Amino acid sequence: MKIPPTLSVVLSNLLKKPATNPFPHTDPVPTPEGFRGKVVYHVDKCIGCKLCVTVCPAGVFEYVEEIKKVTLWLGRCVFCQQCVDVCPTNALEMSNEFLLATYDKYDDNLRWLKDEEIEELRAKQGGKT
Amino acid sequence: MNIIYITLGLIAIYLYVSFVSLLWEGLDRKLVARMQRRIGPPILQPFYDFLKLLSKESIIPRDANKLFELAPVLALASSIALLAYTPLGFEPLLATKGDVIVFIYLLTLIAFIRVIGAVSSGSPYAQIGAQREIVMIASREVPMMLGLFAILWRLSKLGVEKPFSLGTFYQYNIWEIGTPATIVGTLILLVVFIFWLASEIEVGYFNIPEAETEVAEGPMAEYSGRHLALFKLSNALKEFASASLVVAIFFPWGLSGYLGISGIGALIIDLLFHTLKVFAVLFVSMSVFRAVTGRLKITQAVGMFWSRIIPMSLIGVILLAIDVLGGVIA
Ligand code: SF4
Ligand code: SF4
Residue A18, pLDDT above cutoff 90: no
pTM of the model: 0.81
Q: Residues B310, B143: contact at Cβ < 8 Å?
A: yes
Q: Distance from first CA to last CA of chain B, Å, rounded?
A: 50
The string of pLDDT tens digits covering residues A106-121 is: 888 888 888 888 888 8
User: If you average pLDDT over every residue of chain A, what do you get?
Assistant: 86
For residue A127, the model assigns a pLDDT of 59
Of all ligands present, the nearest one to the C-alpha of A92 is 2
pLDDT score of A1 more than 70: no
Task: Return the H-helix or E-strand segment holding B159.
Answer: none
What size, in residues, is chain B?
330
A-to-B residue pairs, Cβ atoms closer than 8 angstroms:
34
Q: Closest residue (by CA) to atom 6 of ligand 2?
A: A52
Asked if A10 lies within 8 A of B35 by C-beta distance, the reply is yes
State the DSSP code for B222: T
- Report whether A118 contacts A64 (CB < 8 A): yes
**Is residue A113 within 6 Å of ligand 1 at its C-beta?**
no
pLDDT confidence bin for A84, thresholds 50/70/90: very high
- Residue A21 with chain B: CB contacts under 8 Å: none
Burial class (CB in 10 A: 0-12, 13-18, 19+), B294: exposed
| Chain A residues touching residue B39 (CB < 8 angstroms) | 18, 20, 22
Closest approach of chain B CAs to the CA of A80, in angstroms?
33
The ligand 2 atom at the shortest distance from the C-alpha of residue A92 is 7
- Min distance A19 CA to chain B CA atoms (Å): 5
- Can you give the pLDDT at residue B329? 53
Quick check: CB of A70 below 6 Å from ligand 2? yes
pLDDT of residue B251: 81
Listing DSSP states for B46-95 in one string gives HHHHHHHHHHSPPPPPTT--HHHHHHHHHHHHHHHHHHTTS-SSS--TT-
How far apart are the C-alpha atoms of A127 and B43, rounded to whole Å? 67
- For residue A69, the cross-strand partners are A64
A96 touches chain B (CB under 8 A): no
CB within 8 Å of chain B, chain A residues 20-39? 20, 22
**What is this model's ipTM?**
0.70
Ligand 1 atom closest to Cα of A55? 7
In chain B, which stretches have pLDDT less than 70?
1, 211-217, 256-257, 260, 326-330
Are residues A35 and A94 in contact, defined by beta-carbon separation less than 8 angstroms? yes
The answer on pLDDT for A46 being more than 70 is yes
How many angstroms is it from A62 CA to the middle of ligand 2?
11
Q: Give distance in angstroms: CA of A96 to centre of ligand 1.
A: 15
Predicted confidence at residue B328, as pLDDT, reads: 55
CB count in 10 Å sphere of residue B273? 18
Distance A88 CA to ligand 2 centre (A): 7
